[in-house]
Structure 1
Amino acid sequence: MRSLRKYIYSFLKKFSNVISPALFATILAAVISGIILFVPPIHGLADNGDFYRSILGNGIYRLPTNYSQYSDYVIPKFGIMQYFNENNIAVLSSQSLFIQIALFLNKLFYSRTIFDIRFMGLVYYLFYLGGIYLLTNAFVHPYRRIKSYVMAFLIVFIFADSAYTLYFNSFFAEPGMLIFMLYLCASIISLARNVYSRRWPMTFLFFISTILLITNKQQNAPLALSFGVVAIGIMFLPNFKARRMATALGIVLVLMSGIGIYKSIGSEIVGANTFQTFSHGVLLETGDPTKKVEHGGVDGQFALMRGENYYSKDYATLDPSSKYVKKHLMDKTGFGWVIRYYASNLKQFNNLLDVAAKDITAVQPRAVGDFVRKSGHKPGEQLKTFTAYSSFMGAFFPGKYAFDCLLAIGFISVYSVGFYLDIKAKRYMGILRFFLIFGLMTIVIFVPIVSIIGDGDADLAKHLFLVPVSLNMSLLMFVSDLFNHTLWNTKGDEARE
């Protein structure tokens, strides 16, 4: 027995000398996600109708087929426009950076006329692995103990779940959001734990990742406030006076990016959101909505549009884009009207927030398939491989908004102790951590509210994508602090400077 322990100890020591916890996590994530994305038959996400917002403005189009290209199966091949692209960019988004890199690689190594979705997956895959490495290194630095490798495995177990990585083989904006969250959280934790000798690269990485995250999707505009709060922590770094002005400028740029992306929302998207806020929000979770909407000055006949989408695939009661609907419904049910309606129907609003809470764990969209045609799988069938974490959370995580709020308050309260102690001791790790946790918890609390008010329960799981990411990131930080004994006492951690 003693010789076996000695052998295991010797093996682990040699292993840790060659492969760090961060490299271990990166290799593990690379293998798991690589199998899903690139080994035939490949997996990804089918189009629910949103791809056009990303592809047309970037010179990509659907190849003609004799079958529907929506919802059932992943589309592996697209066409690349050869001449002038007359389509304006439907949605201003930093996602175009990823698409253009994928297009460049596709033309360089594959074809100038046909786009293979795997090049989209490859670009996300490479940036994602970089984020996994930086995040793991930030959480475990400078240790190479068994607990460090357990921490690395937990990071992979959570963020290499195929519920996240399936997005890579698609034109949804969510992969960029995940990647930028990995980088911005890794940069703040690296600053807090003094992982690198120079602070400005991680500070720069934080602001670049934050601005690109906010501009990745127009619904992300309110997140500028959350990440503006996170950035305040950087102001507390010692010997940083000369750069505090630059940090303040970075915070201003973060806030301006939120305003800019909000202002860029086109009238068609505003109309779609307004309509679906009514049909998928106001009209839901209520027995007879007719009297309620009439009380708000809206014709009761519009209650027949309950659950209908702006871009309807089937027969619609009324054309949402018609002048009649615009005049008698859209012009009357703006943001102010919706706020007043929910203020006078708080029970209904709370029910909708509980619907959102149940969708928090539904990272993998339920309405689209994950397999390509001729793969032997049914239309709309979803992948079950490497989904242990998301399946576990879906089965056991309470679907109550009140629970999410209590969880957020719990995280803030726990880390406020370290914040207070480090303020008194003039240390900075607990301060940076607190502002990061506080910013992440504002996402958990306010994104469901903004989503319900802004678009009802339409595509709710996708709108809430950053909520489970924020919760998982906070959970990992909590576990890391328990492992390193730095939850409330960061003195030992900073002594390594």
Structure 2
Amino acid sequence: MKKFFKTCFINFSKWVSPALFGTILVALISGFILFVPPIHGLADNGDFYRSILSNGIYRLPTSYSQYSDYVIPKFGIMQYFNENNVSVLSSQTLFIQLALILNKLFYSKSIFTIQFMGLVYYLFYLGGIYLLINALVHPFRKLKHYFLALLIVLIFADSAYTLYFNSFFAEPGMLVLMVYICAAILSLARNVYSKRWPMITLFFVSTVLLVTNKQQNAPLALSFGVVAIGIMFLPHFKARRMATALGIIIVLLSGVGIYKSIGSEIVGANTFQTFSHGTLLETGDPTKKIERGGVDGQFALMRNENYYSKDYATLDPSSPYVEKHLMNKTGFGWIIRYYAANLKQFNNLLDLAAKDITAVQPRAVGDFVRNSNHKPGEQVKYFTFYSSLVGAFFPGKYAFDCLLAIGFIAVYSVGLYLDFKSNRYMGILRFFLIFGLMTIVIFVPIVSIVGDGDADLAKHLFLIPISLNMSLLVFVSDLINHTLWNTKGDKASV
């Protein structure tokens, strides 16, 4: 019997690589939830308008609310001049426009179905998953490498991630691009392909698109600039190091550009919510604390209020009075000084962020379409084992996240030292990838709290669980391949 299974596995591995095996499973699992009626996705929490209006898509009139409770499957396509300006500069437009082209070719020129948005992300995602698995298992086809492929499927086919595809949120583009970025660096590190320039190009293009996907991603240019430093250590690369340096500069400039493109209205909304959802969040009365900072104590009544309030607001955040007496006094410098004087409160907010790291699946919106016999706002449970498991057991403490990041960096710094000393590059590229991912884990919560308080915090932290999962997979791959501190077998030498 053992010989029979061994023979079957040998024949199977000849035709189906771990990368193909994992990609097929992701395709089947994700395709079922995205495209088999009744479809699933994410309902609109009010953010869709930033993406759809500037791309010529509008809501069809209905007799019911189109927010939060149910996924909207159909939208209208503008037939005439679009008078809406681009409210938010974003590379997400590229994905939406591609979905529009496919929709007009194969479905309708007047009605847009959200499944074409899902299809665009789905196809790009499968390509990234194939590259990622191939980079982590190359060149082996042993049984343990198929189990590694299954682990990748368990993590990245989780519905908490793929539900985003059938939506107009920016997060699915971030997920897809993050997979390509890590796959490109790992492919270079493990010498998967004979020519390096395709993976280098893929890395820089994906990085620029990721940084410009959302304005909140601007600081990520620094993290990925660090990752790109590892490329400079590739052998026989002297003539192209200048091109790599130019690529790093472009990544940094893309971060500056997307930050500068933030409109005054968004700046005002972020400033207000940093105050109402950040500095005012404490168990006691914050009145005296904000008065010591020169702000009228009456504004403490605006705790937990949003800039775009759905209900009655204590004061209109966009009114001249609020702008003069609150907004003009609580800029970035004021926020920094406030948290410096109230470190315990800031630490509590960071712990709050740490709890939200595992909340990948948005809890405030539904995942089902109307008339699917599901309650308003009901959540999908299909293939969410991994995200549920992590959500139940991952410690919600910022200090733990920092220690975990330091641990990853320390482990891979040994490989960095050994490979640098031995003129090999795998450990060097791998270290800068892990280091860049860990800067996301450590600094994104700080930037999010300072920049927007706890408003939409889970969405702002979306790249953190992806960074941790990527680091985990790299670590498991190195253990399986026996390359954690010894990369000789991969022939990754200068």
Listed as ranges, the matches of 1:218-237 within 5 Å are 218-237=215-234
Provide the residue aligned with 1:291 in structure 2. 288
Cα offset, 1:371, TM superposition: 0.5
SS state at 1:239 partner: coil
Provide the residue aligned with 1:186 in structure 2. 183
Provide the residue aligned with 2:59 in structure 1. 62
* Partners of 2:88 and 2:262 within 8 A in 1: yes
Q: Which amino acid aligns with 2:305?
A: E
Cα offset, 1:285, TM superposition: 2.3
Listed as ranges, the matches of 1:409-420 within 5 Å are 409-420=406-417
2:338 aligned with 1:341: yes
**Greater Cα shift, 321-330 or 136-145:** 321-330
* Partners of 2:190 and 2:492 within 8 A in 1: no
2-structure distance, mates of 1:12, 1:89:
54
Listed as ranges, the matches of 1:14-33 within 5 Å are 14-33=11-30
Q: Which amino acid aligns with 2:347?
A: N
User: Where do 5+ consecutive residues of structure 1 fail to align?
Assistant: none
Q: Which amino acid aligns with 1:222?
A: P
Could you give the per-residue CA deviations for residues 236-273 of structure 1, whole angstroms, max 9, x where no partner exists?
Answer: 00000111000000000000000000000000100110
Q: Which amino acid aligns with 2:16?
A: I
2:111 aligned with 1:111: no
Match of 1:371 among 349, 368, 372: 368
Cα offset, 1:33, TM superposition: 0.4
**Runs of 4+ in structure 1 displaced over 6 angstroms?**
none
Structure 2-normalised TM-score? 0.99
Cα offset, 1:493, TM superposition: 1.5
Provide the residue aligned with 1:310 in structure 2. 307
2-structure distance, mates of 1:75, 1:200:
41
1-structure distance, mates of 2:177, 2:334:
34
Cα offset, 1:147, TM superposition: 1.0
SS state at 1:48 partner: coil
SS state at 2:195 partner: coil
Q: Which amino acid aligns with 2:233?
A: F
Structure 1-normalised TM-score? 0.99
2-structure distance, mates of 1:90, 1:160:
32
SS state at 2:75 partner: strand
Q: Which amino acid aligns with 2:308?
A: Y
2-structure distance, mates of 1:89, 1:371:
29
Provide the residue aligned with 2:212 in structure 1. 215
2-structure distance, mates of 1:336, 1:130:
44
Could you give the per-residue CA deviations for residues 389-428 of structure 1, whole angstroms, max 9, x where no partner exists?
Answer: 0000000000000000000000000000000000100100
Could you give the per-residue CA deviations for residues 267-301 of structure 1, whole angstroms, max 9, x where no partner exists?
Answer: 01001100100010000024111111111111111
Provide the residue aligned with 1:76 in structure 2. 73
* Partners of 1:286 and 1:348 within 8 A in 2: no
RMSD (Å) for aligned C-alpha atoms: 0.9
Provide the residue aligned with 2:472 in structure 1. 475
Provide the residue aligned with 2:421 in structure 1. 424
2-structure distance, mates of 1:358, 1:431:
32
Provide the residue aligned with 1:253 in structure 2. 250
1-structure distance, mates of 2:311, 2:491:
61
2:325 aligned with 1:328: yes
Q: Which amino acid aligns with 2:445?
A: P
Provide the residue aligned with 2:455 in structure 1. 458
Q: Which amino acid aligns with 1:182?
A: V
Q: Which amino acid aligns with 1:263?
A: K
Match of 1:40 among 17, 37, 40: 37
Percent identity over the alignment is 83
Equivalent residue pairs, number: 494
2:5 aligned with 1:8: yes
Q: Which amino acid aligns with 2:292?
A: H
2-structure distance, mates of 1:491, 1:199:
19
Could you give the per-residue CA deviations for residues 116-161 of structure 1, whole angstroms, max 9, x where no partner exists?
Answer: 0000000000000000000000000000001110111111100110
2-structure distance, mates of 1:126, 1:260:
29
1-structure distance, mates of 2:347, 2:442:
13
1-structure distance, mates of 2:363, 2:431:
35
2:151 aligned with 1:159: no
1-structure distance, mates of 2:282, 2:239:
54
2:193 aligned with 1:196: yes
2:146 aligned with 1:149: yes
Q: 1:166 to 1:206 in 2, by over 3 A?
A: same
* Partners of 2:426 and 2:492 within 8 A in 1: no
1-structure distance, mates of 2:258, 2:211:
8
SS state at 1:115 partner: strand
Could you give the per-residue CA deviations for residues 459-491 of structure 1, whole angstroms, max 9, x where no partner exists?
Answer: 000000000000000000000000000000011
SS state at 1:69 partner: coil
2:439 aligned with 1:442: yes
2-structure distance, mates of 1:18, 1:459:
46
2-structure distance, mates of 1:276, 1:324:
17
User: Where do 5+ consecutive residues of structure 2 fail to align?
Assistant: none
Q: Which amino acid aligns with 1:492?
A: G
1-structure distance, mates of 2:492, 2:41:
46
Q: Which amino acid aligns with 1:368?
A: V
Cα offset, 1:492, TM superposition: 1.2
Cα offset, 1:496, TM superposition: 10
1-structure distance, mates of 2:283, 2:85:
40
* Partners of 1:218 and 1:261 within 8 A in 2: yes
